[in-house]
């Protein structure tokens, strides 16, 4: 049995821009062992090298208190966060690390019950779509949330449309009789049309309008494909809007392309834009433009995160917070 790491410590080299302060409690996800005594850990969506003689468990989430000086912090482990999803899957005999776990974690983040039958249907849907399993899991879960049968004809094609601009994504070409929006005004007009009550007897001309006009049980997302061209460079992707269907207003915005993801919460006390990417060139460009972006957002009463985060900290709809494990898992619904 692996000894508990509680009371032990992890030494992490962090840049001053992380904003961590002595005495603060943070979540630390153990990613993997790099060498004896050296680990890769995730803190607030970023990956850092860490030194520790503890026998850590890859995939585990720890609560640690920050100590030491800026630049080299000593994290004292206060507790191990129980992983309710992993415990539930283990009880059902589902092996860790597979597509089932990706789907189950996406369902937990969306607030949906972990129904074994739904998990298997979504697993098969992702396989039929041919998309990357990790990036497709949350999109597939939104279909289940909107009560769209994952085994239905066209579900795999719809999943590829939701991934437009990403590897394996499908060009939706035309929807609602119009071309893809190519200007900010066209995007605004389309969003406005979604806020108006549609004729319940009307038959949608494609799967995307049907998806967008259907409310979710837990969350209601609207996905708008776009294709912008600037100075000869074309950018394809999707704008994803989380709607409050009762008040008819957006709660959060996400923008997803092949190399970068953006997320902006529109409710709550702190409304800050987060940028996610795994591309070194995009990361450098984003870091160079942060000051300009921050200035423009401040004029709108919004903030911009100080750090460009790793792409694996974003599921295409919402950030995957380190330690964001639900205290319990809904297995009933």
Q: What angle do CA 276, 305, 252 make, to 5 degrees?
A: 70
* Of residues 120 and 205, more confidently modeled: 120
How many CB atoms lie under 10 A from the CB of residue 2? 9
Please determine, for residue 200, whether its predicted confidence score (pLDDT) is greater than 50: no
Domain boundaries, the chain: 9-81, 84-258
Residue 228 burial (10 A CB sphere; 0-12, 13-18, 19+): middle
* Of residues 330 and 178, more confidently modeled: 178
Convert the pLDDT of each residue in 28-51 to its tens digit.
Answer: 878 777 888 888 887 776 777 888
pLDDT at residue 206, rounded to an integer: 64
How many CB atoms lie under 10 A from the CB of residue 221? 22
Convert the pLDDT of each residue in 299-320 to its tens digit.
Answer: 888 888 888 888 877 888 888 7
This prediction's pTM: 0.66
Of 102, 146, 104, 112, the residue nearest 243 (C-alpha)? 146
Domain spanning 9-81, CATH class: mainly beta
What would the two tokens of residue 169 be?
């994504």
What would the two tokens of residue 190 be?
């389309």
Average pLDDT, the chain: 77
pLDDT band for position 18 (cuts 50, 70, 90)? low
pLDDT at residue 182, rounded to an integer: 62
Please determine, for residue 258, whether its predicted confidence score (pLDDT) is greater than 80: yes
The mean-pLDDT minimum among 83-92, 124-133, 186-195, 215-224 falls in 186-195
Alpha helices in the chain (DSSP H): 84-91, 99-109, 116-129, 133-145, 155-162, 184-195, 207-212, 280-298
Please determine, for residue 198, whether its predicted confidence score (pLDDT) is greater than 50: no
pLDDT band for position 255 (cuts 50, 70, 90)? very high
* Of residues 13 and 217, more confidently modeled: 217
pLDDT exceeding 90 applies to what percent of the chain? 15
pLDDT at residue 328, rounded to an integer: 33
Please determine, for residue 204, whether its predicted confidence score (pLDDT) is greater than 80: no
Distance of CA 230 to the CA centre of its chain: 27
Beta strands 303-304; 272-277: pairing state: parallel
Strand partners, 234: 229
Strand partners, 201: none
pLDDT at residue 307, rounded to an integer: 81
């Amino acid at each position: 049995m692996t000894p508990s790491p509680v009371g032990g410590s992890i030494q992490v080299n962090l840049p001053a821009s992380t904003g961590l302060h002595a005495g603060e409690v943070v979540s630390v996800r153990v990613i993997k062992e790099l060498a004896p005594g050296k680990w890769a850990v995730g803190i607030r969506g970023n990956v850092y090298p860490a030194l520790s003689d503890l026998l850590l468990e890859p995939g585990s989430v720890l609560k640690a208190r920050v100590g030491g000086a800026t630049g080299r912090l000593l994290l004292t482990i206060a507790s191990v966060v129980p992983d309710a999803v992993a415990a539930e899957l283990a009880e059902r005999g589902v092996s860790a690390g597979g597509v089932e776990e990706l789907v189950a974690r996406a369902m937990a983040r969306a607030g949906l019950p972990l129904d074994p039958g739904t998990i298997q249907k979504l697993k098969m849907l992702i396989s039929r779509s041919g998309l990357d399993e990790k990036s497709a899991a949350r999109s597939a879960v939104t279909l289940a949330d909107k009560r769209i049968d994952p085994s239905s004809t066209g579900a795999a094609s719809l999943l590829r449309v939701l991934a437009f601009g990403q590897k394996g994504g499908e060009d939706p070409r035309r929807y609602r009789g119009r071309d893809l929006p190519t200007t900010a005004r066209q995007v605004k007009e389309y969003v406005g049309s979604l806020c108006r009550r549609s004729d319940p007897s009307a038959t949608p001309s494609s799967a995307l309008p049907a998806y967008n006009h259907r409310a979710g049980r837990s969350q209601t997302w609207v996905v708008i494909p776009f294709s912008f061209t600037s100075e000869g460079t074309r950018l394809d992707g999707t704008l994803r809007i989380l709607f409050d269907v009762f008040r008819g207003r957006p709660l959060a915005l996400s923008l997803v392309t092949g190399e970068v993801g953006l997320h902006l919460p529109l409710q709550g006390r702190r409304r800050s834009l987060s940028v996610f990417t795994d591309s070194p060139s995009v990361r450098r460009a984003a870091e160079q433009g942060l000051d300009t972006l921050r200035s423009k957002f401040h004029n709108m009463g919004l903030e911009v995160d100080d750090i460009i985060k790793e792409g694996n900290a974003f599921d295409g709809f919402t950030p995957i917070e380190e330690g964001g494990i639900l205290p319990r898992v809904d297995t009933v619904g």
